[in-house]
Amino acid sequence: MDTQCLMLAVVQPEDAEAATLALTEAGLRVTRISSIGGFLRAGNVTLLLGLGRSQVPRAIKLLADNCERRTFYVNAAQMVDFRAGYVMPVETIIGGANIFVMSVERVMHFGAQVEGTLVETQERREGGMKMVIAIVPEKHSNEILDALIEAQYRATLVSTTGGFIRKGNATLLIGVRDERADGVLQHIQGVCEAISLRGNSEVPWATVFVLNMEQYVQV
């Protein structure tokens, strides 16, 4: 079985549309998050992709083909030409894509039917933590968030877009102890089932990744 992983790619806004289109046309599911960062503190776009291991090289090639390296000039106050009396611009190259590939312990799909894959069975670690990333429909995201908060799980909601038709969705980030990870999945599944039972014509869905967290610190 092709083991599952999560790819996180940070790309420039100028490349985001072409990269997303190339990935979706290749049959890969992409979730987009508007973000800020890098040396220039400039806006960028973070792409999340759930992939089988065998798909990783193809995804990297598509990103490489559609993300350019660009030259920017920035003013560095410490580099002053006193004879000319102005701040010298400094040349810097940014792009094309910064790519992170992470192993996934579990992937769950809640929709018309429940599907799940387990990368490898691991014993629960004493004091261990998981990061649960759940991509859910935007229209039902607050209902899922409320259910998690009511059950005393801490969750962060991020507005995102994804899929071939670029529908609005939302991404929930939930940090949880190992022994409570199953409870998070059960609550998300429970909300999806409850929505379905209300007779909605649209089948609620959620794609959930469970990752091992190496360290968690509150400061």
- CA dihedral 21→141→216→213, nearest 10 degrees, is -50
Burial 174-202 (b: 16+ CB within 10 A, else e): bbbebeebeebbebbbebbeebbeeeeee
Per-residue model confidence (pLDDT) at position 78: 45
Per-residue model confidence (pLDDT) at position 80: 47
Distance CA 184, CA 195 (A): 17
- pLDDT tens for 39-64 read 555 678 889 999 988 999 999 999 99
pLDDT < 50 positions in the chain: 78-82, 120-121, 165
Distance CA 59, CA 48 (A): 11
> If DSSP codes are grouped into helix, strand and coil, which group holds residue 2?
coil
Per-residue model confidence (pLDDT) at position 197: 79
